[in-house]
Structure 1
Amino acid sequence: MDIVEKALQIASKNHEGQYRKNTDIPYITHPVAVGMMLLKSGYSEEIVAAGILHDTVEDTPLTLDEIKWEFGPKIAELVEGSSEPDKSLSWKDRKEHTIEFLKTASEDVRAVVCADKLHNIRSIMRDYEQVGDEVWSRFNAGKEQQKWYYTNIVESLGVQSSFDLLIELRKEVDKLFGR
């Protein structure tokens, strides 16, 4: 079976019954969109599969060992690098860890994370157009904290080099938060 198709099946099964924050949109649309962004940007099937699987370890019962067994060490490494390591930490501690980690992360991990954040920002922008400032109440942290997070993510992703998805993310973050 094709690795991307296998990732779609496993992610769909594991995200079944989950929805995007305070919406009726099935959660699987997010990892699929992340994978499609990576595919359109010319990344390998392994990176596309990792993009599709990026939230499974963080948000479903699927473990990193199971991903390694099903997809091999490279995809497991990409999924691990795209996941928050400790959900028991506070929102700010988790985000600070991610910001620092991305400064030295591999180019492939940075691509997956960038596609993830780009889809998140675009989703927030669409929701903002529909409900205005109410959109910020959907999150554990409000607008100013989200601005801090996404602005720092853009900076961290660009420490080593710039790439097309990062250029798009920077534009969208600036548009949403008004730079």
Structure 2
Amino acid sequence: MERKGTATPYILHPLEAAAIVGTMTDDQEIIAAAMLHDVIEDASVAVEQLQQIFGERIAALVAAETENKRENLPAADTWQVRKEEAIGALCDADLPVKMIALADKLSNIRAIYRDYHQIGDRLWDRFNQKDKAKHGWYYQSVVDATKELAAYPAWQEYDCLVRDIFGQSELNIKK
């Protein structure tokens, strides 16, 4: 399994997300949840399975980071509503959930940064949402929703990468 549109092994993403969370907390359950953050969404693992194997707290943290994919509809058609729901939930989330979300998005934005500087705007063709400005809105919304983490270098790096990739004009565009 590879990251979307690349030859990068997928396993590196959850490993990186867990390592990023490890820079913000030494709570092993939060770090474990970061490692598992995509399993409900992408591997068809049920919350109940996570509860049985890893316990209630880890399962709840993973579930909090899981989008309703609306499998019966094309992903491109549901992108906007899924991201709006994710941002709404993130704004109301507690710190461990925000740490996991930030780590996930920092891992993603690092990959986007690397690829964007190699292939430019063709990068956006690999995603369900092709509009760079909409990605800018989403990633800036994550910056805003996780401001409680602004003292952490991970948040500062994320904020810097978002501004570098999208520039101010892209970030001022509303959904």
Q: Would the alpha carbon gap of residues 96 and 62 (structure 1) be closer, same or farther in structure 2, given more than 3 Å must change? A: same
Question: Which residue of the partner structure matches residue 128 of structure 1?
Answer: 116
Q: 2:15 aligns with which of 10, 22, 32?
A: 32
Q: Would the alpha carbon gap of residues 161 and 112 (structure 1) be closer, same or farther in structure 2, given more than 3 Å must change? A: closer
Percent identity among equivalent residues? 37
Count of residue pairs the alignment pairs up? 161
- Taking structure 1 as the reference length, what is the TM-score of the superposition? 0.84
User: Is 2:94 aligned against 1:111?
Assistant: no
Question: Which residue of the partner structure matches residue 173 of structure 2?
Answer: none
Q: 1:143 aligns with which of 106, 127, 132?
A: 132
The letter for the 2-side match of 1:21 is K
After TM superposition, give the deviation of residue 51 of structure 1 in Å.
0.5
Residue deviations 1:70-121, cap 9 Å, x none? 1101101110111113434611000000111111101000000000001100
- Provide the rounded CA distance (Å) in 1 between the counterparts of 2:150 and 2:93: 13
Question: Which residue of the partner structure matches residue 173 of structure 1?
Answer: 162
The 5 Å alignment of 1:13-162 reads 18-88=1-71, 90-141=78-129, 142-158=131-147, 162=150
After TM superposition, give the deviation of residue 62 of structure 1 in Å.
1.3
Q: Which runs of 4+ in 1 moved over 4 A?
A: none
- Gapped regions of structure 2 (runs ≥ 5): 169-175
Q: Which moved more, 1:62-71 or 1:86-95?
A: 86-95
Residue deviations 1:23-81, cap 9 Å, x none? 11111110010001111333311111000000000001211111111110110111011
SS class of match (1:103):
helix
- Gapped regions of structure 1 (runs ≥ 5): 1-17
